[in-house]
């Protein structure tokens, strides 16, 4: 039985006062839940959010990490630093980083290796664009992303994968539960080819306009083990409802 996992991706949103109100209200609203849950604020607020989460079971994560361990790389933040600041999780290969920072699968493989070396649990994001789906290429695109980023990974046990169709991120469009389930089952098969022992226990998250109104139906699918949540994670009521639904 895979424990559900729900991860909040705040992206480049937040300010000290907003963060404090958001986390305080979210924790107050969070009642009985069985999911593992992590918040990923912008890196400058990681220490603040670590303090706000101290007396809860909610974990802390980061939105990205460097592919290099340390050195003269201005602006970069290493996996080791994130671990040192209390992060347990790190998002790797979000489509916004692939799109705006030209992150390749080879670079993401190096980031995954760094995350593992620092004892951080990575969430690798994969997903196709609207044009790729319409051209019937969705599965091939996702398979190439998985093979490119995971080909050299030594340990799949601490990994999670988020299927985030690019056309559903921040658009209000959601993959139907059936579309999402079909792709999750496909991803599990691709992972089975790479590491047969881990495929069943690997947690696969869906991301793309997850809201309280569609979360339960998505989580009811056999291969959907949780969610990576952008916009709705900035609303304490909505995010608490999604975590409770998982």
Identity of the residue, 190 or 234, whose beta carbon is nearer to ligand PEP in the bound complex: 234
Nearest to 122 by CA among 39, 191, 64: 64
CB 200 within 8 A of CB 222: no
Interface residues with ligand PEP (CB under 6 A)? 9, 164, 169-170, 207-210, 228-232
| Cβ burial 159-174 (10 Å sphere, 16+ → b, else e) | bbbbbbbbbbbeeeeb
| CB of residue 115 to ligand PEP, shortest distance in Å | 17
101 annotated active-site: no
| CB of residue 11 to ligand PEP, shortest distance in Å | 6
Identity of the residue, 164 or 223, whose beta carbon is nearer to ligand PEP in the bound complex: 164
Identity of the residue, 151 or 170, whose beta carbon is nearer to ligand PEP in the bound complex: 170
| CB of residue 161 to ligand PEP, shortest distance in Å | 13
CB 173 within 8 A of CB 157: no
CB 112 within 8 A of CB 217: no
| CB of residue 210 to ligand PEP, shortest distance in Å | 5
Please tell me which residue in 36, 94, 103, 184 is annotated as part of the active site. 94
128 annotated active-site: no
Q: Token match 């400058």: residue?
A: 44
Which residue of this chain has its Cβ atom nearest to ligand PEP in the complex?
230
CB 86 within 8 A of CB 58: no
Beta strands in the chain (DSSP E): 5-9, 36-40, 59-62, 89-92, 121-126, 160-163, 203-207, 226-229
Identity of the residue, 61 or 207, whose beta carbon is nearer to ligand PEP in the bound complex: 207
Give the residue numbers marked as catalytic: 94, 164
């Amino acid at each position: 039985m895979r424990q559900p996992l729900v991860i909040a991706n705040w992206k480049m949103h937040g300010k000290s006062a907003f963060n404090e109100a958001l986390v305080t209200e979210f924790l107050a609203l969070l009642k009985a839940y069985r999911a593992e849950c992590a918040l990923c604020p912008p890196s400058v607020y990681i220490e603040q959010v670590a303090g706000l989460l101290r007396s809860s079971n909610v974990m802390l994560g980061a939105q990205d990490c460097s592919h290099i361990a340390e050195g003269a790389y201005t602006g970069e933040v290493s996996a080791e630093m994130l671990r040192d600041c209390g992060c347990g999780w790190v998002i790797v290969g979000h489509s916004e980083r692939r799109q705006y920072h030209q992150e390749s699968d080879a670079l993401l493989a190096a980031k995954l290796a760094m995350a593992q070396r620092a004892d951080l649990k990575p969430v690798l994001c994969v997903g196709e664009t609207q044009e790729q789906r319409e051209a019937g290429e969705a599965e091939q695109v996702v398979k190439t992303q998985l093979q490119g980023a995971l080909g050299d990974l030594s340990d799949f046990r601490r990994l999670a994968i988020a299927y985030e169709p690019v056309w559903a991120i921040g658009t209000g469009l959601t993959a139907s539960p059936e579309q999402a389930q079909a792709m999750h089952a496909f991803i599990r098969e691709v992972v089975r080819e790479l590491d047969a022992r881990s495929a069943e226990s690997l947690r696969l998250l869906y991301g793309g306009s997850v809201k309280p109104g569609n979360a339960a139906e998505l989580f009811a699918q056999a291969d959907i083990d949780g969610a990576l949540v952008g916009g709705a994670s900035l609303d304490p009521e909505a995010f608490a409802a999604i975590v409770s639904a998982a």
